Amino acid sequence: METNTADLDVTNSDLAVHLDGITKRFPGVVANDDVDLRVERGTVHALLGENGAGKTTLMNVLYGLYQPDEGRVVVDGEERTFDSPRDAIDAGIGMIHQHFMLVDPMTVAENIALGNEPTKWFGMAVDRDRIDREIRDLCDRYGFEVDPDATVEDVSVGVQQRVEILKALFRGADVLILDEPTAVLTPQEVEGLYDVLEELTDQGKTIIFITHKLEEATHAADAITVLRDGVSVGTVDPDRTDREALAERMVGREVILEADSDPVETGDTVLSTRDVTVEDDRGVEVVSGIDLDVRAGEILGIAGVDGNGQAELIEAITGLRIPDEGTIDYAGDDITAWSRRRRIENGMAYIPEDRQERGLVMPFDLVENGVLGSQRSGRFASGGRIDWAGVRDHAEEIIETYDVRPPDATAAARSFSGGNQQKFIAGREFERDPSLVVATHPTRGVDIGSTEFIHDRLLELRREGVAVLLVSSKLDEIRSLSDRLAVMYEGEFIDVTDPDAVTEEELGLRMAGQRPDGEADRHPNPGESR
């Protein structure tokens, strides 16, 4: 049920932030159109909407990255003009971006204090003792388990997020903006984040988090403001609405939230690995003797906490890394040593885990990115020359079909939000006419409407006889789409199961390396029938 400001009992004296009639325009696009956002002090307020709805733009206005064309920014009852993030930080606003702004080789303490280091001896030296003391005080106050002396590259993603939050608190933030805070977290880390948000608000901090995920908005927020196409379509109390109503408000139509994966008859084996062993860049064995088979017309899901060898296994399958032992067979051919290009030419599509590092060339526009991997195919080239008119038509078809926003094929990939980058990559790979799709986190950072579309497209490809290897940390996604589900832990498959026969709790235990009965089940064969 929708409520208005009065329903939420918000008065001006209680507001930490009031964005009043914010309009922000870019060439050809109105990103925010007369948006009103009122955030009560000491609460968690979710900003919910599809990719391209204007959520991040609105928060960039609050954080001083953009200046509004119209409207007012009011913080603690005082109208403010932020010419830069420094002005916003000085006013007590902190922002934790989806892609963390940390320096990996530096310590936690060095990252937290970077650019804001207290000094001693009349400014002649950094006061490291004070930095360490203040960080430990913050950790004690908010219940963070973070080692200030640890190197950032050696800690988990969840801890890195806490470092970003500590960095904002170290600078005196009273209002914290979190941009898609659960996008890169494991289910266990998500629960830890909820605990952090509760502790922060208990101590008077105000949280605004940008999300397109219904479950986290309804679970963690005290109020939810929904944006669609740059316009606010209402603020709701999560206790007086439901996921279906929120999804319809976000998208403007009814949305099917559960994928319907009906059984289909499978065909011949398309992908097969035998005894595949992979060492990482440090020479540590991270994949240990993996056997798997994926047949035409089925989806084999791989579940597991990030860092248990899934990434290296997929790199070996897709040609980004040669396995140290074992063989990979694709459609009857030994492709263990094949190049990435040769695999693409033979019908292997790949949605990579890291869209910016592996999926796109960020300075290239979408026309150029749309032909990556196929620039030598007869579909787009003749006599060594690329048909750029045809390539542009192809890119525009992807943009229209997969609802990439803004719909500008000539814009650089780096100018799009992460979710829209992901939609474009998914469209490019699905439209290759593949016989095998390797999809790693295909809906990471993607809104509910586009998630529904990508799920439907995967199931449609499956019905057409395409083999799909799916890696996902979203338990609901991998359980609803997969025909068989392999659980990977410390480089091995510890279980292969029917996803309908396992609960999310049981799957979580398996992902932690345990069976519900406490017994390990090493090296099952994912080639066996359900």
CA 61 to centroid of chain Cα atoms: 22
CB-based contacts of 110, cutoff 8 Å, min separation 6: 103
H helix intervals, 366-474: 366-370, 388-401, 418-430, 448-463
By the 8 A CB rule, do 135 and 114 touch? no
Whole-angstrom distance, CA of residue 369 vs CA of residue 359: 9
Report phi then psi at 290, rounded to 5. Answer: -80, 130
Burial annotation 430-454 (CB, 10 A radius, 16+ → b, else e): bbbebbbbbbbbbbbbbbbbbbbbb
Output the pLDDT for position 221: 96
Tokens of 222: 């005290």
Output the pLDDT for position 30: 93
Report phi then psi at 437, rounded to 5. Answer: -115, 120
Output the pLDDT for position 28: 80
pLDDT by 10s per residue, the chain, length 530: 344 443 444 445 689 999 999 999 998 889 999 999 999 999 999 999 988 889 999 999 999 999 999 999 999 999 999 999 999 999 999 999 877 889 999 999 999 999 878 878 877 778 888 898 999 999 988 888 889 999 998 888 888 988 999 999 999 999 999 998 887 776 777 888 899 999 999 999 999 999 988 888 999 999 999 999 999 999 999 999 988 899 899 988 877 666 666 777 889 999 999 999 999 888 999 999 999 999 999 999 999 887 899 999 999 999 999 999 999 999 999 999 999 999 999 999 999 988 998 999 999 999 999 999 999 888 999 888 999 999 999 999 999 999 898 899 999 999 988 888 999 999 999 999 999 999 999 998 788 888 888 999 999 999 999 999 999 878 888 999 999 999 999 999 988 888 888 887 788 788 878 754 554 444 455 654 43
Tokens of 199: 């502790």
Tokens of 279: 């060492």
Output the pLDDT for position 517: 55
* Domains within the chain, CATH numbers bracketed: 1-92+174-253 (3.40.50.300), 100-172 (no CATH), 268-347+436-443+463-530 (3.40.50.300), 353-433 (no CATH)
Whole-angstrom distance, CA of residue 299 vs CA of residue 314: 15
Output the pLDDT for position 526: 63
Assign 492 to helix, strand or coil. strand
Output the pLDDT for position 523: 45
Q: What is the pTM of this model?
A: 0.71
By the 8 A CB rule, do 42 and 206 touch? yes
Tokens of 481: 């789409």
Output the pLDDT for position 255: 74
Report phi then psi at 372, rounded to 5. Answer: -55, 130
Q: What is the 3-state secondary structure (H, E, C) of 60-108?
A: HHHCCCCCCCEEEEEECCEEECCCCHHHHHHCCEEEECCCCCCCCCCEH
